[in-house]
Structure 1
Amino acid sequence: MADGRGPAGSSGESLLFLTDEQLRQAIEAMFFAYRGFTADPDRILVDMAYGRAHHRAIHFINRAPGTTVNNLLNILGVTKQSLNRVLRTLIADGLVESRVGRNDKRERHLFLTDAGRALEQTLSDAQRARMRTAFRDAGPDAVAGFRTVLEAMMDPEMGASYTRLKESGS
């Protein structure tokens, strides 16, 4: 197809010269894909009166147990006031534990409790199932291309945070 969705648009070279209409379609696809990607966790969180900010905090605390509040602020790109509101709720509900730093008593290190890990597992299982199906349907070349595009869209600072998380394993 000449619109970049079929064989004519898959040669690679033609993808370097996308029209504004093709870019608009990609932007809209990303918006709708994100809605789908977040829909499953949103349904789980609504009963708990939590939102996406809670989900993101739980996700990144799980990825880096012991992360500091400041590090989480940098990763999430939210205000300190906003993050404190989310963390207060998660701590009060027994999902996150905040520990004073050993070397710097001003630091607060964050850990998921058993209940927090269970919730994170439930949320991630839903998203992994959606991603697994989409990746399986798209095939390995599309998956590699998708990752390349996502990484190329990241601002340098976020790309560095992403690389650190990737290299940390787990």
Structure 2
Amino acid sequence: MFDPNRERELRAAIEDFFFGYRAFTALPDRLLAERGLGRTHHRILHFVRRDDGLSIGALLDILGITKQALHRPIKDLESQGLIVIAPDAADRRVRRLTITDGGRALEAELTDAQMRLLDDTFRQAGEGAEAAWRAVMDSLRANPSDPR
């Protein structure tokens, strides 16, 4: 339970998080929409680029979504030539995702915009801001989804 005396500050933090995330995703959302894609597509491209050859099962674990929720975005990316799906050489039941040159270029365009925004924001916020932000994000990541 939170301290009720902090409700105003915590609500303001929630709003900051909302508006910050909106700014963080605005340009990538526009670029994705031009291709009929969305944020899940960006996440898939990001993690496949980070770990080319990633299995679909591992991607499901990373994203925390169901196979059903992943199926359509994967097929969209494959049909646009942004990723390739192939069976694993050792275990043909495992499907691996590989990013294409086109997928790498799109992912770079999307993520570079976000990296520029973060870099500018950290510089403007001053010394220690990035370390403090990382500490907050690490703490959020480590907490369960339902902290009741």
Same fold? TM cut 0.5: yes
Per-residue Cα deviation, 1:8-61 (whole angstroms, up to 9, x for no partner): xxxxxxxxxx81211111111001100000001001111101011111111111
Over 3 Å counting, the alpha-carbon distance change for 1:83 and 1:27 in structure 2 is same
Q: Could you tell me how far 1:156 is from its partner in structure 2?
A: 5.9
Moved over 2 A (4+): 155-158
- CA-atom RMSD in angstroms: 1.6
In the superposition, the TM-score normalised over structure 2's length comes to 0.90
Query: Are 2:91 and 1:104 equivalent residues in the alignment?
Result: yes
> Which residue in 2 is equivalent to 1:60?
47
Task: Give the length in aligned residue pairs.
Answer: 141
Over 3 Å counting, the alpha-carbon distance change for 1:67 and 1:150 in structure 2 is same
Query: Are 2:89 and 1:117 equivalent residues in the alignment?
Result: no
Tell me the distance in 1 between the aligned counterparts of 2:92 and 2:70. Answer: 20
Task: Determine what percentage of the aligned residue pairs are the same residue.
Answer: 43
> Which residue in 2 is equivalent to 1:84?
71
Tell me the distance in 2 between the aligned counterparts of 1:33 and 1:92. Answer: 32
Query: Are 2:125 and 1:126 equivalent residues in the alignment?
Result: no
Query: Are 2:138 and 1:151 equivalent residues in the alignment?
Result: yes
The secondary structure found in structure 1 opposite 2:84 is: strand
Q: Could you tell me how far 1:140 is from its partner in structure 2?
A: 3.1
Over 3 Å counting, the alpha-carbon distance change for 1:93 and 1:100 in structure 2 is same
In the superposition, the TM-score normalised over structure 1's length comes to 0.79
Tell me the distance in 2 between the aligned counterparts of 1:140 and 1:125. Answer: 22
Runs of 5+ unmatched residues, structure 1: 1-17, 159-170
